[in-house]
Chains A and B, each alone.
Chain A
Amino acid sequence: MHYSGFKVIKEALTGHRGWGPAWRDATPKAQYDYVIIGGGGHGLATAYYLAKEFKQARIAVLEKGWIGGGNVGRNTTIIRSNYLLDGNEPFYEFSLKLWEGLEQDLNYNAMVSQRGILNLIHSDAQRDAFIRRGNAMILNGADAELLSTAQIVERYPFLNVNNARFPIKGGLAQHRGGTVRHDAVAWGYARAADRRGVDIIQNCEVTGFRIENGTCKGVETSRGFIGAGKVASCVAGSSSRLMEKAGMRLPIESHVLQAFVSEGLKPLLPGVITFGAGHFYCSQSDKGGLVFGGDLDGYNSYAQRGNLPVVEDVCEGGMAIFPNLGRARLLRMWGGIMDMSMDGSPIIDRTHIDGLYFNGGWCYGGFKATPASGYAYAHLLATDTPHKTATAYRFDRFATGHMIDEKGMGNQPNLH
């Protein structure tokens, strides 16, 4: 079924009886060419681009829970391509370009909103660093603009620019950045993949791999063995747990990241603001809630809930620059499990086991990467060569010294 304005009007006039499920509830077949493990944004996008761009067939996505139940439905929905390093920036800019055409491509309203993102500057050193970053972005075909305090006040009059510790001295804006409705991304990719024949199999947990003579032949699941030509792991925060079943240890720690939503308010915050120095960022959802977050809790966790010190820290950071936040009541808070890599950058690569591929290490920035990650992973799966924007995302970069460490923090995952 094709979605359109005409269809909405027709259904409105005929009692909404013509809508069907957005995707089939597929039962697993015995054998596929491609089995993708994990029905988050990245797994679904991979399946979609495999079918659409690389003309592959016999594809299944296996999801242990339900579509949208992982981080794709837990994040704070920010998209941007304001990276510095060569290994990253072309990839994230590719992703932002895919976001720009996504809704037409998927025939699904994902509420892509390029409302702009602003990184605040508080010191001369930080300004120098952001100028360098902005130049790197422009060199890679992205947009970046350095704003003065006056320009920021014009757009965000409520910001406290005179905070004693972190006065606002300017900002780096990316006007093409913004937010996307996260659930709609999962549903949109699921529906579009399904329409191209991909089997989306929910409530199907992968419990092991069948590996014979160094080749992966398929996966053991809670719904029986499923054979596969190629098996693609794409399970974000569960990466270490899954790959352990193939005997692999990863350059990843799992950490919990919390997020918060206030009660619905009238339009207040037109774009996304990030206050990196105070570990706080915020946007306003289309429903009116202020969506904000900050740091990781900082210790290994699979609990999908955090502790109170970070709640206090995030709210303090918010109050420091955004004092009227204190008038809003908090509606909800939750946590998601992040696959924090050793250099803060992801991995899209083959493994040492033939037929077994890996995508993970997205840290807290994998939502914006969803389209490019799916595209690049599909490229790797279909052609056995990396996509040109993802050549640096190798497993062996830690052994060879080619880390992609945006923040220069070293091998300490909770600091990235």
Chain B
Amino acid sequence: MLINHPILGPRDAAEFVYKGDARLIHRPDWQADDAVAQFTDYGYLRDNPAGLHRELWFHEQGDRSWLVVTRDTTTHEITKVELARDVARAEGRSR
């Protein structure tokens, strides 16, 4: 599997470490009234779809950036690769 890194170009997926669902970008607010429920959900529940999946990959043996990869879990085909930083900012995270 090749991951087309936005900065470095196509890289072997074996250079990366897989983290999972890209929703993990959005850590819940620890002061929310239902923080325990939100963190249980964040820590342990997953959509786990058959089909398109947005997921976090860490370029451990490369430039150590986090990427959001859109991949089809039924074919392994990758259709989109973004820097996780850009995704997080676009989705409203300040840090």
**Cα(A376)–Cα(B90), bound, Å:** 48
Task: Find chain B residues with CB under 8 A from A412 CB.
Answer: 19-20
- Residues from chain B with Cβ under 8 Å of A398 in the complex: 40, 43-44
Do A307 and B76 touch across chains, with their CB atoms under 8 A apart?
A: yes
A-contacting residues, B38-53, CB 8 Å: 40-41, 43-50, 53
Interface-located stretch among A71-79, A189-197, A295-303: A295-303
Smallest CB–CB gap between B76 and chain A, Å? 6
Pairwise interchain contact A250-B73, C-beta atoms closer than 8 A: no
Which of the listed residues A253, A342, A412 has the most CB atoms from chain B within 10 Å of its own CB? A253
Interface presence of A249 (CB below 8 A): yes
Q: Is the CB of A254 closer than 8 A to any CB of chain B?
A: yes
Q: List the count of A-B residue pairs having beta carbons below 8 Å apart.
A: 68
Complex Cα–Cα for A245 and B53 (A): 18
Which of the listed residues A252, A299, A302, A307 has the most CB atoms from chain B within 10 Å of its own CB?
A: A299
Q: A363 to chain B: closest CB distance in Å?
A: 14
A308 to chain B, nearest CB (A): 9
Contact B73 A303, beta carbon cutoff 8 Å: yes
Residues of A within 8 A of B1 (CB): 307
A241-B50 in contact (CB<8A): yes
Per the bound structure, the CA–CA distance linking A166 and B49 in Å amounts to: 39
**Do the beta carbons of A249 and B74 come within 8 Å of each other?**
no
Give the residues from 1 to 46 in chain B that come closer than 8 angstroms, CB to CB, to chain A. 1, 12-14, 18-20, 36-37, 40-41, 43-46
Q: Are B74 and A240 in contact (CB under 8 A)?
A: no
Residues of A within 8 A of B20 (CB): 253, 300, 412-414
Which B residues are in CB contact (< 8 Å) with A414? 18, 20
The verdict on A309 contacting chain B, using a C-beta distance below 8 Å, is: yes
Q: Given A253-B20, A254-B73, A307-B1, A300 and B45 touching (CB < 8 A)?
A: no
| Bound-complex Cα distance A301 to B51 (A) | 9
Given contacts A249-B45, A251-B44, contact A298 B18 (CB under 8 A): yes
Looking across the interface, which residue of chain B has its beta carbon closest to that of A414?
A: B18
**A250 near B75 (CB under 8 angstroms)?**
no
Smallest beta-carbon distance A404→chain B, Å: 13
Residues of B within 8 A of A30 (CB): none
A301 and B43 in contact, given A252-B48, A414-B18 (Cβ under 8 angstroms)? no
* B74 x A302 contact (CB < 8 A): yes
Give Cα distance in the complex from A249 to B45, angstroms. 6
CB-CB under 8 A for A251 and B45, given A300-B53, A302-B74, A398-B40: yes
- Whether the pair A307, B73 counts as a contact (CB closer than 8 A) is no
A411 near B: Cβ within 8 Å?
yes
Q: A298–B15 Cα gap in the complex (Å)?
A: 13
Q: Is the CB of B48 within 8 A of A301?
A: no
Q: Given A251, A298, A302, which contacts B73 in the complex, CB threshold below 8 Å? A: A302
Q: Who on chain B is nearest to A240 by CB?
A: B48
- Say if the beta carbon of A13 comes within 8 Å of chain B: no
What per-residue 1/0 map shows which CB atoms of A329-361 lie under 8 Å from chain B? 000000000000010000000000000000000
Is A399 at the interface (CB under 8 A from chain B)?
Answer: yes
- Once the chains bind, are B48 and A300 in contact (CB under 8 Å)? yes
- Report the minimum CB–CB distance from B29 to chain A (whole Å): 18
Q: Is the CB of B73 within 8 A of A301?
A: yes
- Which single member of B14, B19, B37, B48 contacts A309 (CB below 8 Å)? B14
In whole angstroms, how far apart are the Cα atoms of A409 and B20 in the complex?
15
Which residue on B lies nearest to A251, using beta carbons?
B44
**Cβ-defined contact, A301 with B76, below 8 A:** yes
* B53 contacts across to A, CB distance below 8 A: 300
Question: Which of A300, A309, A411, A413 gathers the greatest number of chain B CB atoms within 10 Å?
Answer: A300
- Whether A399 pairs with B40 at a CB distance below 8 angstroms is yes
Q: Which residue of chain A lies nearest to B48 when distances are taken between CB atoms in the complex?
A: A240
**Which residues of chain A come closer than 8 Å to B18, judged between CB atoms?**
298-299, 414
Residues of chain A within 8 A (CB-CB) of B37 are: 399
State the Cβ distance, A236 to closest chain B Cβ, in Å: 13
Near B by CB (< 8 A), chain A positions 274-313 give 298-303, 307, 309
Using A249-B47, A307-B1 as known contacts, list a sample of 19 further A-B pairs with CB atoms less than 8 Å apart, ordered by residue number in A. A240-B46, A240-B47, A241-B49, A249-B45, A250-B45, A250-B46, A251-B44, A253-B46, A298-B18, A299-B71, A301-B76, A302-B50, A302-B74, A307-B13, A307-B76, A309-B12, A342-B43, A398-B44, A399-B36
- 11 sample A-B contacts, Cβ–Cβ < 8 Å, listed by A number: A240-B49, A251-B46, A254-B48, A300-B48, A300-B53, A300-B73, A301-B73, A302-B73, A303-B74, A303-B76, A399-B40
Q: Which residues of B contact A (CB under 8 A)?
A: 1, 12-14, 18-20, 36-37, 40-41, 43-50, 53, 55, 71, 73-76
